[in-house]
Structure 1
Amino acid sequence: MTWSAGAPPAPRPGSGAPPSGRAYGPRPDRAGAAPAPGRGPQARAAAAATIQFRNSTAQCRRWWSRSLDRSARTITELHRLLLEAAHPYTGQIRRSEPQQALDTAARALLGACFHNSVRPDAATGEAARRRYADELADMAIAYLLTPDRRRSAET
């Protein structure tokens, strides 16, 4: 196909050529514009990255879910063991509802242990951990052996 000076020839009807008369390349009115969405190597790379991100996010959610399940089972078992160990001493508890008081103390002990484990200045070393455990035990015992406060009608 030969061109005369200047403009390219008009496409033949039904040839499949774009209306611009160019058989390939960007249209002159779109010079410098990004390719249409979903086309080109960048779009394919972005789609592949999106799929990989979705897969890795799903894996992360599954791992996190399994981790939370294990954590919940561990906390539940520790809570059960604390209540079981304290059961013989239920008669000495001076709170109005001894089982509820034991549950509260067990939850507070577990929360304090978790909090200590994630603190940047957690108790380290055998002596510091023993002192921390003794202080927690003293607080729990003091709570369990202290009668309920009298409550006014407003509270």
Structure 2
Amino acid sequence: MTYQRDELGEFSSVVCFKAVITGVEDTLGKDGASVVFTRAGKVRGGNLARDLGLAGTGLHGDELAAKLNAALGQEGTRLAAVHGVREENGKITVDTTDTVCSAGEEMGSDRSCTFTMGAIWGALEAITGKTYLGEQTQSVLRGGQFDRFEFEEL
């Protein structure tokens, strides 16, 4: 049996989550924090895919985007809104907005969405059974339409 927050429920504020991010960055430095948050996201995403029964299903494209958005978007944990998933030449591109990592940041900030990218990365690996190398290639903070993540199969 696990402890449940009867009064406050499962959700916390973006402000508190961002305080964790900046505190870890202050302690480990930006590069160290990036590794920690990406890995933490991958663990979360993999567990989420397994909890939802999506592991090993090999979902693709719009169906995958819809499942990720349901789990991570407005009706789910509110980590990010997933707008699309495209596959081309062994690469998967995932477009998101309203990522928790970008929330509250100044335009032009060099903030990367390490936890959000990691969560999607971990979910993709659990769903497809493949291993990927991921990177953020676009940011809403730096003029992009999306926080875009690209995953290349290894």
TM-score (norm 1): 0.25
Higher relative contact order (CA 8 A, sep 6+): 2
TM-score (norm 2): 0.25
Question: Larger radius of gyration, structure 1 or 2?
Answer: 1
Which has more strand, going by share of residues? 2
